[in-house]
């Protein structure tokens, strides 16, 4: 509970790794998987997702791999989490996640307002950390 998924952890490790490389240098999924002892197939899927979302560019073929698109200091951790989880919010409250009407509690939910404020504070924390600061 209240943990980042392995997918996100792997994604952050990969992004950090690429950021540490000199710009424009290509990285393969295999190389990263080996280096950090993480399962290749899973990492590969994460990177494919990151590629699809435009964070990294993919190159197929023998000397293929991935390259960072944006500058590390322009890459918020929050963005990467959202991309990997395919959500557009990082939400601690469950009722927020689905459509508000689905939540039976909704109308009587007394903790929502204070926790939304708390949510904003947490979002800020994730927004403020960039990949740049991780390398």
51 vs 132, which CB is nearer to a second copy? 132
State yes or no: residue 55 binds DNA (CB under 7 A). no
The item of DNA, a second copy, none sharing an interface with residue 82, based on CB under 5 to 8 Å by kind, is none
> What one-character-per-residue DSSP string does 67-123 give?
EE-S-GGG-BHHHHHHHHHT-SS--S-HHHHS-GGG-SSGGG-SSHHHHHHHHHHHH
Contact 39, 28 (CB under 8 A): no
Smallest distance from the beta carbon of 58 to DNA, in angstroms? 3
Q: Fill in the DSSP letter of residue 13.
A: H
The item of DNA, a second copy, none sharing an interface with residue 109, based on CB under 5 to 8 Å by kind, is a second copy
Q: Which residues bind a second copy (CB under 8 A)?
A: 1-6, 8-9, 12-13, 16-17, 35-38, 77, 81, 85, 90-95, 97, 104-105, 108-111, 114-115, 118, 121-122, 125-126, 129, 133-134
62 vs 101, which CB is nearer to a second copy? 101
100-129 residues in contact with DNA (CB under 7 A) are: none
92 vs 135, which CB is nearer to DNA? 92
State yes or no: residue 28 binds DNA (CB under 7 A). yes
Residue 59 Cα distances to 48, 50, 51, angstroms? 11, 13, 10
Buried b (16+ CB within 10 A) or exposed e, 102-130: ebeeeeeeeebeebeeebeeeeeeeeeeb
102 vs 133, which CB is nearer to DNA? 102
């Amino acid at each position: 509970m209240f943990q980042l998924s392995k997918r996100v952890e792997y994604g952050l490790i990969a992004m950090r790794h690429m950021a540490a490389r000199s710009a424009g240098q290509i990285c393969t999924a295999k190389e990263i998987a080996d280096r950090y002892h993480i399962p290749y197939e899973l990492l590969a899927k994460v990177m494919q997702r990151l590629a699809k979302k435009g964070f990294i560019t993919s190159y197929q073929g023998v000397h293929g791999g991935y390259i960072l698109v944006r500058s590390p200091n322009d890459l918020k951790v929050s963005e990467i989490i959202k991309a990997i989880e395919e959500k557009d919010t990082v939400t601690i409250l469950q009722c927020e996640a689905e459509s508000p009407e689905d939540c039976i509690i909704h109308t009587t939910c007394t903790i929502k307002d204070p926790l939304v404020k708390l949510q904003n504070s947490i979002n800020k924390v994730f927004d403020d950390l960039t990949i740049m600061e991780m390398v």
